Amino acid sequence: MRPSWDEYFMEIARVAATRSTCLRRKVGAALVKDKRILTTGYNGAPAGLNHCLDIGCLRAAMEIPSGQRHELCRGLHAEQNALIQAAVHGIPIQGSIIFVTHQPCVLCAKMIVNAGIRKVVFAGDYPDELSLEIFKEADIELQRFS
């Protein structure tokens, strides 16, 4: 059967997640507008830096729970990388939809709000209630993908 548009774009996000170099959670994202893929992203270290896959995870070594102390992670989140790719290549994303394999964290939620993204479609959970509150206050449509 032919997939729906949401199924198609979420599958693209899932494929992007396979490039992740994070040891704890593999996340992918796809920014879409008018049924066209604008950019994709996955979580991992900044370009040219060592990956956690190669040197280990500081957060795991310090036993930091998911959803806490993001500043101690050397990686960028999938949503951040998708937004950065748009900026680097001059791709306007205002009014777009972001498909993410997991619920965005509060840091990504704030960036998504300021980028003018109108809708977030996410599949997996993430322990960050504040991000959901920010999306609600910003009137950004949230859709849990099942």
Inter-residue contact 135 to 103 (CB < 8 Å): no
Quote the pTM value: 0.95
Among 79, 133, 137, 141, the active-site one is 79
Burial of 37 (0-12, 13-18, 19+ CB in 10 A): middle
pLDDT at 70: 86
* 105 is annotated as contributing to ligand binding: yes
Residue type, 145: F
* 22 is annotated as contributing to ligand binding: no
* 77 is annotated as contributing to ligand binding: yes
Tell me the pLDDT tens digit for each residue of 57-95: 999 999 999 888 988 999 999 999 999 999 999 999 999
Tell me the pLDDT tens digit for each residue of 89-126: 999 999 999 999 999 999 999 999 999 999 999 998 88
pLDDT at 127: 85
Question: Does residue 137 have an active-site annotation?
Answer: no
Cα(81)–Cα(34) distance, integer angstroms: 21
pLDDT at 67: 87
Percentage of the chain modeled with pLDDT above 90: 92
